[in-house]
Amino acid sequence: MPTAADLVATGRWLTGGRVYTRVADRLRERIRAGEFAPGEVLPSEAELCRVFGVARNTVRRGLALLEEEGLLTTVPSKGRIVLGDGPAASYRYQVIAARLRAQIECGELVPGAALPSEAELQRQFGVSRTTVRQALAVLEVEGLVVVEHGRGRFVR
């Protein structure tokens, strides 16, 4: 298998349809081969764009696939860290988001229902306001929660 330097040197960049899946495949192979060990930070998106000769969005989509598989996690201010083939270590905000997501999916929190306040979630999980807001932001991005300013957050 050619290395990243070989790809750049020979100009054999990835092209064609569904390139992001091939970016993910190549990174997955390197993780499993031990080129990127568990706990190691992956190269930046910009570097991966240069290595594979693709757009940043293509790299992001490929990395998202690996995150969904549990091979990577994103750590703010650090980047994407390799988890390996083991289970993903969850941050508190991910635990809170997962718990709320499960309540929404099982119907415990129905569409239109108000989510618990930030203060209530802080007490319930014993975390900071920032951690609660980060969890709620994840659910907003996923389209499960909508914010009505001055009123609160509601299930979409």
Query: Tens-of-pLDDT digits for all 156 residues of the chain?
Result: 445 444 444 445 555 568 899 999 999 999 888 888 887 889 999 999 999 989 999 999 999 999 888 888 888 878 898 885 555 556 788 888 989 999 999 999 999 999 999 999 999 988 899 999 999 999 999 999 999 999 999 999
Residue 17: name the closest of 50, 61, 67 by CA.
Answer: 61
Q: List the structure tokens of 103.
A: 């309540």
**Bridge partners of residue 153, in order along the sequence:** 147
- Cβ-contact 35, 77 below 8 angstroms: no
pLDDT value for 95: 80
**Are residues 116 and 145 located together in one domain of the fold?**
yes
- Do residues 97 and 49 share a domain? no
Between CA 62 and CA 58 the distance in angstroms is: 6
Q: What is the pTM of this model?
A: 0.48
Report phi then psi at 153, rounded to 5: -110, 140
Predicted local confidence at residue 15, as pLDDT: 56
Q: Which residue is associated with the tokens 């270590």?
A: 89
Q: Indicate whether 3 belongs to any domain.
A: no
- The answer to whether residues 43 and 26 belong to one domain is yes
Spatial CA neighbour of 26 closest among 17, 39, 16, 13? 13
Give the domain range for residue 66.
19-82
pLDDT for 16: 58
Helix (H) or strand (E) holding 98: helix 92-105
Please report, as a single letter, which amino acid is at residue 104: I
Looking at the fold, whether 32 and 54 belong to one and the same domain comes out as yes
Quick one: how far is CA 24 from the chain centroid?
14
What's the pLDDT score for residue 6? 43
Instruction: Specify the CATH number for the domain of residue 123.
Output: 1.10.10.10
Query: Domain for residue 39, yes or no?
Result: yes
